[in-house]
Amino acid sequence: MRTPPTLRRRQPARIEDLPGDLHSILRRIYANRGVVRSDTLELGLAGIADYRLFKDIERAVNLLETALTEQWRILIVGDYDADGATSTAVAIRALGAMGARHLDYLVPNRFEQGYGLTPALVASALPLQPQLIVTVDNGVAAHDGVRAAQAAGIKVLVTDHHLQGDSLPPAEAIINPNQVGDPFPSKALAGVGVIFYLMSALRARLRDVSWFGDALPEPRLGDLLDLVALGTVADVATLDRNNRILVEQGLRRIRAGRACPGILALLRVAGREATQVAAMDMGFFVGPRLNAAGRMDDMSIGIECLLTNDPERANALAAQLDALNRDRRAIEQGVREEAVAAVESAIARWDGRNLPAGICLYEADWHEGVLGLVAGRVKDRFHRPTVVLAPGSDGFLKGSARSVPGVHVRDVLATMDAEQPGLLVRFGGHAMAAGLTLDATRLDEFTERFAATVTRHADAEALQPVLWSDGELMPGEFDLRAAEALRAGGPWGQGFPEPLFDGLFAVASAREVGQRHLRLQLRDPRDGQLHEAIAFNYADHGMPFDGGAGTVRFAFRLGINDYRGVCKPQLVIEGYDLAVDERDETSVNS
C-alpha cells in the first residue's frame, strides 16, 4: 500500500523587477518561489554574508594564527559523510596553502568509533601528538571528547553546523551559525560552508599581518568552492541565497574545468559531463559515490580522492568509490525491500488503517551503513517520520531517522530524551535527519514512544504527502529552449526546489527499461502532441506496468534527454494519477 500524494500549486508572488529577457516559464518559477527582484538573482561572491558576523570568529582566528606562527601540529577531525569529507578537504587544502607544515586528518570509523570527536577518537589521535584539533562538520555535542583532548594538553576548535544541545562543549572556540546567540544570518550552512568561512577569515587576518609574500603567495580560496558546492548539495542543505551563491560559484568552476581532480574523476565514473554539471549531479551522482566510502568502508578513501592533485590517482580512487557504491546499492535494495515489506505487512494487519505517526524498524542483520538511506526510502514511501535501526559494534543499537516537512525529528528525539531520561544513549541531527544510539533492551519502548511523540509534534496535514506544482505547461512550452532555461535557472535543491509541473495526459505507449523504469509517450489531449517521458522506479509512483488507461494527471519535471550528443526535451515523472487540492490551486495565468 502506498499513500498517494495530493497535488497543490504554488502561490506566485507579485513580480516587482525581474530581467525582461528571462524565459517566461522561468519568470513564473521565480515568482512561485518568492523571487521578485533582479538583485536576488545575482549570485556573485560579493553577495555572501560577512564572516565577521560569526560568534567567536576572532577567537578562532587568533587560535589558528598562533598555530601557524608557532607551527603547531594540527589535526582535522572530520565526519564520515560527504559534508564531512569535503569539509576535511577544504581545511587541509586551505591550511596547507596558508603555511601549515604539520597537518593531518582523522575520521572516525562508523562501525568502530561512532560519530564525531569522542574520547576513543582522541585516544587514537594521541600517537600523532596534535597540539590543536579542529573539528569539521561535528563537535557541537562533543563534551566528553573535548574534555579528553584538553586533558591530554590538546586545544580544540569546533566548527559545526548541527543544532546544539542544552550546553556547549568547553572548546577554545566554536564556529557554528546554529549555536545560541550567533548572529550569522545564514543558518543553513553545511559543515563545509562553515569551515570555508573560517578559512576566509583566517586569510583576511594573515593578509593584514603581511603573512603572504613571494615565498608563500596568498591562496585563492575561491578555488575550493567546487568542494563547498559538493558538500552543501550532498548534505541536502537548504539553498537560501547564501548557499545558492556558494553552490553556483562552485558549479561554475567545475564547468570551467577548474575542479579538483577528484571531483572530475567522480563525475567521469558517474557518466556525467563536467561542462554541463548541475546541482542535481552533485546530489544524485557524485555525493552518493563519496558517501559510499563512509557507509561501506573508510571515508579516508573519499578524502584522499578529494585531496590528490594527481589525475591518475584520482581516477583510481574514484573507481574504488564507484565499486563501493555498487555494493552499497545492492545492500540498500535488500534492506529497503525488507523494511517496506515489514510496513506493508503491518498495514495489512490494520486493514490499511492506523498507520503510526512515526515508523520504527529493526532487524539484527541489517547493515549499519545504509540505515539512513533506507529510512529515507521508507519515509518517502509512507510519508511518515522513520527510524531504522541495526546492531552496532558496541552492543547498542544504532539508528538513523528521516522526517517529513512539518515534523522536526531532532526535536522529537529531544522531547523523548527529556521525558524519559536514559531512553536514548545519545542523539543529534537536524529537522529532517538525525542519528541515535539506543539500548537494545528498550527497543519496544522506543518504538511506542517515538510514534506517540511524533503524534504530538505533527498535525494531520504534516502526515499527508503533498507534491507542490508550478502549474501546467501550455501547448508549445514543452520545448528544448524551455528545458535549457530551467536547467540554467538554478541551482535548485532543498529550499529552492527544482521546477515541477502537472498536466492531464493519455498514455500512448509504455515499455519497461532497466527492469524498474518505464519509458512512455504521453499524449496531450489539448493539441494531440506526443511527449517523451521517463518514470524512474515507476512502481513507487503507483503506476501500472502499461502506464494505465484513460487520461490521468501526472506531475513531472521538464528535463533534457542527451543521447549520443542529441538533446531532446523529456518529461521526468514524479507523480501519477494525482488529485489537485482545490484550496491551494492557482491558475498559471492569474
List the chain domain ranges. 48-323, 355-463, 466-580
pLDDT computed for residue 373 by the predictor: 86
Asked whether the whole model's pTM tops 0.85, one would answer yes
Architecture of domain 48-323: Alpha-Beta Complex (3.90)
Backbone angles phi, psi at 228, to 5 degrees: -65, -45
Which residue, among 364, 460, 359, 373, has the nearest Cα to 412 in the 3D structure? 359
Is 202:219 a contact under the CB 8 Å cutoff?
A: no
Q: How far apart are CA 91 and CA 76, in angstroms?
A: 7
- CATH, domain 355-463, list 3.90.1150.10, 3.30.465.10, 2.40.50.140, 3.10.310.30: 3.10.310.30
Asked if the domains 48-323 and 355-463 are classified in one and the same CATH topology, the answer is no
Run means of pLDDT, 10 residues per run, the chain, 590 residues? 78 71 86 79 92 97 98 95 96 98 90 80 95 96 96 98 90 96 96 98 97 96 97 93 96 96 97 92 93 84 96 97 91 86 77 78 88 89 92 85 92 93 87 89 94 90 89 93 92 92 92 85 94 86 72 93 84 88 46
- Which cell is 250 given? 562552485
Which residue, among 156, 227, 165, 157, has the nearest Cα to 190 in the 3D structure? 227
Rounded to the nearest 10°, the torsion over CA 539, 545, 551, 554 is 30
Q: How far apart are CA 138 and CA 84, in angstroms?
A: 8
Tally of CB atoms within 10 A around 73: 17
DSSP symbol at 521: E
| 139: exposed, middle or buried (Cβ count in 10 Å: 0-12, 13-18, 19+) | buried
pLDDT computed for residue 199 by the predictor: 98
- CATH, domain 466-580, list 2.40.50.460, 2.60.40.10, 3.30.300.130, 2.30.110.10: 2.40.50.460
Strand order in the sheet with 424-429: 359-362, 386-391, 397-402, 433-438, 424-429
Amino acid letter for position 126: L
DSSP symbol at 225: H
Cis amide leading into 356 (omega within 30)? no
Amino acid letter for position 215: A
* Helices 191-208 and 82-97, axial angle in degrees (round to 10): 10
Looking only at the bridges linking them, the beta strands covering 359-362 and 173-175 are unpaired
pLDDT computed for residue 381 by the predictor: 85
DSSP symbol at 38: G
